[in-house]
Every structure is written in structure tokens, then in C-alpha cells.
Amino acid sequence: MRPMMRLILGLCALVVILAAVSLALPSHVTVARTQVIGAPETVVFPYLNNLHRFGDWSPWAARDPNLQVRFSGPEEGKGAKMEWMSSVRSVGSGSMEITGSDPNRHIDLAATLNGLEGTAYYEVAPSGSGAKVTWGFGYDTGTSPLKRWKGLLLDRYVGAEYRDGLAKLKDRIETERRPTAPSASATPPMTTSPAGAAPTADPAQTQATAAPEPAPPPAAAPPTPPAPAPKKPKRQ
């Protein structure tokens, strides 16, 4: 048998084996990542329900400053849709449309990631004083051997993107909720006084900040008393 014929037969056998193995792979694949955020559900949910805010924590936006994004439908909730296109290969093109929204609990989306059509969802649940957010993506492979093998690699690629996105969302929300440092006060520091006495301000600070008082006018000179009259001589 010629070497070329052997190569062809070997490739055909490999295709048959891969097709047979694909029958044992699942017909539906779900990828999900979870992150606990230090904020209540009522604070977290608007970031998910409003697609205009997706750019604040998107795992793809930072990779392409020239990312083209187009919005349609309502501002938030069911019917809101966003589409993006990028020349960066790791970003590519895609779209998300909210198909269902249960306030502060759950959001369903129809999603397309570089030609991979599926369904995505956000799940929000209480977790201590914060909220646990789950971002998932479901993909139906059907009976296609190629799609089933593609679904096998889905967790590796989509899972990493979702993990990075949720980490950005956590950092964004917790940074915005972090209290700012109080501004420096202009009040002079107080000095310690004996027990029972009211605290007093630092004299050095008081002298530095208090305006100087005007000097009192000079006192008037006392009036000069009149000279005594001369005495008359007595007659003898």
C-alpha cells in the first residue's frame, strides 16, 4: 500500500473515531462563574440590568479602546440590547439582549460570542452582608460532532472571560461604595487642661490664627493745677 493511501485511510479512521466519541459528549453545555460582592442585591442589580453600564466592568472593553458598541431598545430591562465589534481577535464581535428580568434576582439574555449562539444569565442572591453574583452561559450542541467538541472547550475560554468580568464588577462596586477620607479641619488642636477645667486651644496655634487686636489709644495727660495766689503782707 502506498504511503499516501495509508495517510488518507488514517485520517478517515481518525474522523470516524472523533465522531464516535462526540456521541458521548453532552448535547448541552453550561459554563458559570460566581463572585461575592460587598454590596446588597439592590446595589448590584442595576449594573447587570442596564447594558449601558456593561462597559464599566466588561472583560473585553479594556483590550480594545476602539471597541465599537451599539445599543438599541429600552435603557434597561427586557428588550435592551447591545452589539459590539472589534478588530482585536480575542474580543471579536457579539451581542447580548435581555429577554427576561426579575428585579434584584435574575436576568436572562440571548447572547452571541464570536458566532457562538447561546443563552446567558445573571443570578443574584444574598450572601452575608453582600451579594453573590453568578454569570452563566448555556450552549446547545445538538447532534453536530463539531459543536460537541467545541462545547468541550467552552469552559476554558468563556469561563476565564466571565471570571475576569465578575472580578472587575466587584472592584467597581466596592470602590464606588468605599467611604472617602474626611477633609482636614481648620479647628486648632485642643490642649489638655487640669481636671474639672474646660479644654483650651493651643496658644501657639491661637496666636498664629487669631487676628491682632488694635492698640488702645494713649491716655490723656492730667490737667495742670493752677498756681496759688500770693499772700498780702500784714499791717502792724
Q: Which domain holds residue 105?
A: 21-177
The count of structural domains within the chain is 1
Confirm whether 190 is domain-assigned.
no
pLDDT digits (tens, 9 = 90+) for 54-78: 999 998 888 888 899 999 999 999 9
Residue 31 sits in a domain whose CATH number is 3.30.530.20
- pLDDT digits over 149-199, tens only? 565 667 777 888 999 999 999 999 999 988 876 655 555 555 555 555 555
Please name the residues in contact with 44: beta carbons below 8 A apart, sequence gap of 6 or more: 37, 124, 131, 133, 169, 173
Q: What is the pTM of this model?
A: 0.65
Residue 130 covered by a domain: yes
**Consecutive H or E run containing 160:** helix 154-177
Decide if 76 is inside a domain: yes
